[in-house]
Amino acid sequence: MIVDIDLSFFVADARQIKLKVLRLDTEDVITGGNKSFKLKYNLQEAKNCNKNCIVTLGGAFSNHIAAVAHQCNRENLKSVGIIRGDDLLQRNVTLKRAEEDGMKLIFVNRKDYHELRTADETLLQSLIKPLLEQNAIDSTTCYLVPEGGNNQLGFKGSCEILNLPTDDYDFVCCAAGTGTTLAGLAASIKPHQTAVGIAAVNDYDFINKNVSTYLSQSQSHGEYKLIMDYTFGGFGKSNPELRKFTEEFSALTSITIEPVYTGKMFYGILQMIRKGEFPQGSNILCVHTGGLQYLQI
């Protein structure tokens, strides 16, 4: 579903810019959004390889962790989540729901998690194996999906996000965590279009390397820009200004956003419009990637 945003709510002089939203969030609140695209081919491959357990990584509020646990439960697959940080005896909404969906949680300290997050897939496999064995999990039955679905199959699925829109947009925008979705958009836009990623984390090199790697394997792609000005301090961090913006945007547009991903994207895009960073008359499409699962009790 694509809806229009009335820019007069937010920008005094919009300079004839049009802003629309591709609402991936209207699918299942847990498994929908961009997660459904990034998991699609990974789960198919797991079944093709006769694996009955999905192992993946994420933080305590990870949309990806929630999506993997829920989808695996639906498809009668086991799931294991390697979680960044100490074991939280009082589970938050995300982790509580993941366990209810049958996910086994393994907590690792932040230093070790960073090593896992930045490892290539071959190294990641070797690092994960002893963690599984320590928790009495047979690694030979497991299929590994990197954090955020950040692999070639996740990229392949992300390339299908723009299969529905037909308008001739000048810019297609999304929030960027690992860069997999941004790469998928850049690989599927037309040559005259530009994909814009509003970073939600303070890690330009990591995101940019991922996007560049995926696009180097793509036959053709459009331009992309990675904007680092609206991270608000890093992943999961915000301030009163951003939280107030997400509340006001949600109320004015009837489109719920949150301060981890989508809030930063819409805040950044509107700031860029105010600053004149989009040409007059631009037609902009923002991809609402979901991420609302932890707001649902």
What's the pLDDT at 95? 92
The C-alpha atoms of residue 208 and residue 225 are separated, in whole angstroms, by: 9
pLDDT in tens, 105-136: 999 998 988 888 888 878 888 888 988 999 99
User: What pTM value is reported for the model?
Assistant: 0.90
Q: Give kind and range of the element (H or E) at residue 176.
A: strand 171-176
Does this chain's domain 2-29+155-295 share its CATH topology with 34-152?
Answer: yes
pLDDT in tens, 68-90: 999 999 999 999 999 998 887 78
Q: Give kind and range of the element (H or E) at residue 154.
A: helix 152-158
pLDDT at 297 over 70: no
What's the pLDDT at 137? 93
The C-alpha atoms of residue 195 and residue 182 are separated, in whole angstroms, by: 7
- The yes/no answer on whether domain 2-29+155-295 falls in CATH 3.40.50.1100 is yes
Percent of the chain with pLDDT over 90: 71
The C-alpha atoms of residue 237 and residue 121 are separated, in whole angstroms, by: 28
Residues paired with 18 in a beta bridge: 283
Which band of pLDDT confidence, cut at 50, 70 and 90, is reported for residue 27? confident
- Burial class (CB within 10 angstroms; exposed 0-12, middle 13-18, buried 19+) of 138: exposed
The C-alpha atoms of residue 192 and residue 204 are separated, in whole angstroms, by: 24
3-state secondary structure of 189: coil
3-state secondary structure of 31: coil
pLDDT in tens, 227-279: 999 999 988 888 999 999 999 999 999 999 999 999 999 999 999 999 999 99
4 residue type, one letter? D
Percent of the chain with pLDDT over 70: 99
The C-alpha atoms of residue 52 and residue 77 are separated, in whole angstroms, by: 5
What's the pLDDT at 116? 87
Which band of pLDDT confidence, cut at 50, 70 and 90, is reported for residue 145? very high
pLDDT at 213 over 60: yes
Q: Give kind and range of the element (H or E) at residue 269.
A: helix 262-274
Mean pLDDT in the chain?
Answer: 91
Distances (CA, A) of 61 to 9, 29, 157, 235, 276: 31, 14, 23, 11, 34
- To the nearest 10 degrees (0 to 180), the angle between helices 180-188 and 204-216 is 40
- Return the DSSP state at 140: G
**Are the beta carbons of 226 and 258 closer than 8 angstroms?**
no
pLDDT at 200 over 80: yes
Q: What's the rounded mean pLDDT across residues 188-194?
A: 92
Domain-wise residue ranges, the chain: 2-29+155-295, 34-152
* CATH number for the domain whose boundaries are 34-152: 3.40.50.1100
What's the pLDDT at 167? 75
